[in-house]
Every structure is written in C-alpha cells, then in structure tokens.
Structure 1
Amino acid sequence: MHITGDMKMVDVVQHDIQLLAVIQRFEIPLGFREKTVKEVCDGHEVNVDFFLHIANSFHDKEFLDWQKFKTFPIEWIIRYLKNAHRCYIDYRIPEIERQIQNFEKQVDINEKNIDLLLNFFRKYITEFNAHIEQEEKNVFPYIIRLNQLVNEPTSEGIDTSDEFFIKQYHEEHNNIEETLFDLKSILLKYLPPPVNNCLYNNLIYDIFRLERDLLDHAELEENVLYPLVKEMEDILMSNRSNK
C-alpha cells in the first residue's frame, strides 16, 4: 500500500500499526475521526509531503530514497529523530527495564540469570544514552552548522577537525543495534520463564518491537541523514580546495 494524503489517517494506522510510532514523533495526537492524512497534518501544522515521505519509507523499505528528502529542511529530519529519542529514553527503555525487574518476583530466588540480565540491560542503557547524547550534543549541531555553511557560504569553510566526522560516527553506529540483538538472544536462550508466561512473552515482544523500531530509526539516519551530510561535507571541502 502506498500512503497518500487523501487516505483516512485511521485506515493508515489500521493497515500498519507500526506507523503509530511515526505519527507520534510528528507530535500528532490520536482522535483522527474521519479526517484524511492531509487534514490531520494540516490541523497540526505538519508538512504533509514530509509526513508521507517518512511514513511510506517506514511502511515500504523500497520507498526510502535520500534524494527525495533533499527538498525538505534538514531541521525537520533532526526534529523527527529527536522526538524518537525522547520516546526511547522516557518510555520504551524504562518500560522494558521495569518488566525485567518484575521477573525477580516470578523466578527462583537463587536464579542468577536475572541479575546477569539486569546488569546487561543497564549496561545497554548506559551505552544507548551515551549514543543519544553524542547525537544531540555533537552530531545534530554539527549537521545544522554544515547546512548553514552550505546555504549561507562564508570564508571560514569547514574546520579541519571536523573532516570525516560523519564517516567516523557512521562506522560506530551499528553497536547499539547489535547490543540489543544480544539481549534478545540471551532472553530466548537462557532466561527461565516466570510463573506467569504472559510476563515473559510481553517482554520478548517489547524487545522485538524496540529492535525493529531502532532498526527503522537507524535506516533513516544512515540512508537519509548520513548521505545528506556527506554531500554537504563534500561541497564544503571542494569549495575550500578551490580557494
């Protein structure tokens, strides 16, 4: 299904529930009634073309094309990514940690795997938070500065210390997803189910859903944001070498 502006927003969500997370990151609340995608976007001051590019990219991987995003302000992409960060840090990850802690009441008191799991997950949280902090304090401001230099050329060009910054960051980006995959594997292989298997199944489901969400998030960064930034870096480096 190709999502269009004249489709009802409720039909879009019912067709692909994962898009509810996308809608949330545009700060669009529920209560769509019979409104179309365009009507909902217009009512919340969201650019409908940008929304459709994001939504279709998440719904259909073949749709993702960084060239199509070049017509939109890069600040819009960064704002969307920041809203996703808030969802992970403020809700999704704390909820998974709470579920893991509940296992302590459901398994044998001598079971050591619970402590190992909690320690592993807390280490993951520390690594994830450091990753987010790096993006929001260093990477995103760097990208905005590059964008300003490209659109408002100045004599200062790009600092030597910034050369290949995005390339270096890109090479370190996959560690977060790999760590979450390891956590999921530990759960499936070694964690004994509690008395109530529903608790275990809910935790597994939430971790799978977070993993998929983070992979989608990473694809947007790597297949849209990274090429856009690399292109800006190349432009600025070329301008500097021609002086």
Structure 2
Amino acid sequence: MEKVNKKITELVANNPDSASVLHFLGIHYFNYTEQTLGEVCQQQGLDAALVMRRLNESAQLRDKTQINLEEYPIELIVEYLKHSHYVFIKQRLTYISSLLDNYQDSSAIVKDLKLIFPHFFKDFVEHVYDEEDTLFAYILILRKLQQSKQKITDSQLLEKIQQKVQGKTIAHFAKEHREEDNEMNGMRELTNQYQHTNQNDLHAKVILDALKSFEGELKIHAKIENDILFPKAQQLEQEVLSISHS
C-alpha cells in the first residue's frame, strides 16, 4: 500500500508509463501535482486497490515476451495487427495528443511537437486505414480462396481483387513496406532521440517517454509484418495462383 501514500507526480516521475495507466482510469496526473494517489482515488471515487493493481499489471505486461505469431494462421495474424492499429490510434496516440494539449510549460521542443503531432496523427490514421483496406483485405480474400480451393476464374472476383490491390502483388507490398521511412523520424530528430533537456519538467519527460515507447511498439509491429505476415502472405498468394493456373 506504499504507493497510496505517494504523490501522483512522484509515481509518474519514477515510472512515466504509469501516467498512461492513470489516464485511462480517469486520472490526469498533471491536475494533481500535490496530491497522493490515495487522496485522488478518494476524490474521484475510485478503488485505490484496483488502481494499484492496474499499475502493477501494466508493469508486468511490459516485461512479458512477445507471443509467437508464426504459429498462428494468417487471418489471426491480420486480426492481431488490426487490433494493434486500434490500440495505436484509440489509446497510444490519443493519450499523447491529450498530454500535448494539456502542456502548459515552456519547452520549445514540446511547443514544436504540438504543431507537428496533429499532422503525424492524421497521416498515420490514413496509412493504417489504407493498409487495412488494401493489403489486409487482399490477404483475407486469398485465404478464403485457399480454404475453398476456388480458382480465380470469376470475372467479378478478379475485378474485386484488382480494385483492392491496384495490380500489386504481395512482393510489391513487402518492398514498399521495407522502403518506407520510419513514421517517427521527424519527431525523433526534433527531440534529439527523445532526450529530456529539462529534468525538472515532468510533463515534457512524460510526453517524450510516451513517444519513445510508441516508436518501440511501432518497430515491433513492423517486424511482425516484415518477418511473419509478408512471408506467409507470399506463400499463400503463390498457392492460390498455382491452383488457378492448374
């Protein structure tokens, strides 16, 4: 119960990730600079034991190793990646956006981030939805064809596939994906690798740590697509095309 008696800002300073957990429990740490966790829970009508359990669970989840997606069928891998997209947009980026909107201090870097982040957010959402509507949709069509052993002879089906992929193969998608610039390059360069220039500015530290953590998740996501999804999808595409040409 030691955490209950600590100031919210002390908990966040010791573990910036805790700010995200508190955020989704309705506690915006920057509004409670002088209050303890117990005091805030009482004020908000929250069960302090439940809040502490969520904080501990979050720390444990981050320590767990990545599940082995290679063992799963491709449609489940696609669903896993789509769920990751949802988490990125509805949780990670929405949280960072809230942190930036509520920043009141004087950091020039954070002020610049407040200007460029909305554009990054918009571009990221468009990229995600485009990937789901083209690549993922194509993979799921191929999977259905594989399961039904159906040849691609129906003209309407051919037209539907061509509309989804604009004439591209999985190899084209894979090449484009590997050649894409890291979406976070601009913000990483602006913040000098997410370095905290003012250790007394806790809010800026939380923002930069959240961006760094998000980039780490993006790298894992991209690795899953490059190392697992694309090889499986290419094999699937070849199998479906071989059935159609037989």
What is the aligned partner in structure 2 of residue 99 from structure 1?
A: 99
Amino acid across the alignment from 2:87: C
Maintained 8 Å contact 1:75/1:144: yes
Matches within 5 A, 1:1-243: 56=65, 58=66, 68-69=70-71, 72-103=72-103, 105-107=104-106, 114=110, 116-156=112-152, 159=158, 161=162, 162=165, 164-174=168-178, 178-188=182-192, 196-242=200-246
Cα distance between partner residues in 1 of 2:214 and 2:82: 16
Cα distance between partner residues in 2 of 1:106 and 1:194: 11
Q: CA deviation at 1:119?
A: 3.1
Distance change >3 Å, CA 83–CA 199, structure 1 → 2? same
What is the aligned partner in structure 1 of residue 38 from structure 2?
A: none
- Cα displacement string for residues 35-71 of structure 1 (whole angstroms, at most 9, x for unaligned residues): xxxxxxxxxxxxxxxxxxxx75x37xxxx6x7x43xx
Q: CA deviation at 1:189?
A: 7.3
Cα distance between partner residues in 1 of 2:80 and 2:238: 25
Maintained 8 Å contact 1:96/1:206: yes
Aligned sequence identity (%): 21
Cα distance between partner residues in 2 of 1:189 and 1:236: 44
Amino acid across the alignment from 1:133: Y
Maintained 8 Å contact 1:177/1:214: no
Q: What TM-score comes out, normalization by structure 2 length? A: 0.60
Distance change >3 Å, CA 90–CA 227, structure 1 → 2? same
Cα distance between partner residues in 2 of 1:205 and 1:175: 26
Distance change >3 Å, CA 116–CA 167, structure 1 → 2? farther
Distance change >3 Å, CA 176–CA 128, structure 1 → 2? farther
Q: CA deviation at 1:139?
A: 2.2
Q: CA deviation at 1:229?
A: 0.8
What is the aligned partner in structure 2 of residue 49 from structure 1?
A: none
Distance change >3 Å, CA 90–CA 189, structure 1 → 2? closer
- Cα displacement string for residues 161-202 of structure 1 (whole angstroms, at most 9, x for unaligned residues): 355432333233357761213212201279995794211221
Q: What TM-score comes out, normalization by structure 1 length? A: 0.61
Cα distance between partner residues in 1 of 2:194 and 2:87: 29
Cα distance between partner residues in 2 of 1:224 and 1:203: 31
Amino acid across the alignment from 1:203: I
Secondary structure of 1:119's partner?
helix
What is the aligned partner in structure 2 of residue 28 from structure 1?
A: none
Q: CA deviation at 1:132?
A: 1.3
The RMSD of aligned alpha carbons is 3.4
Cα distance between partner residues in 2 of 1:176 and 1:203: 25
Cα distance between partner residues in 2 of 1:101 and 1:184: 19
Cα distance between partner residues in 1 of 2:152 and 2:183: 40
Distance change >3 Å, CA 195–CA 209, structure 1 → 2? closer
Cα distance between partner residues in 2 of 1:118 and 1:149: 46
Number of residue pairs the alignment of both structures matches: 179
Q: Where do 5+ consecutive residues of structure 1 fail to align?
A: 1-16, 18-30, 33-54
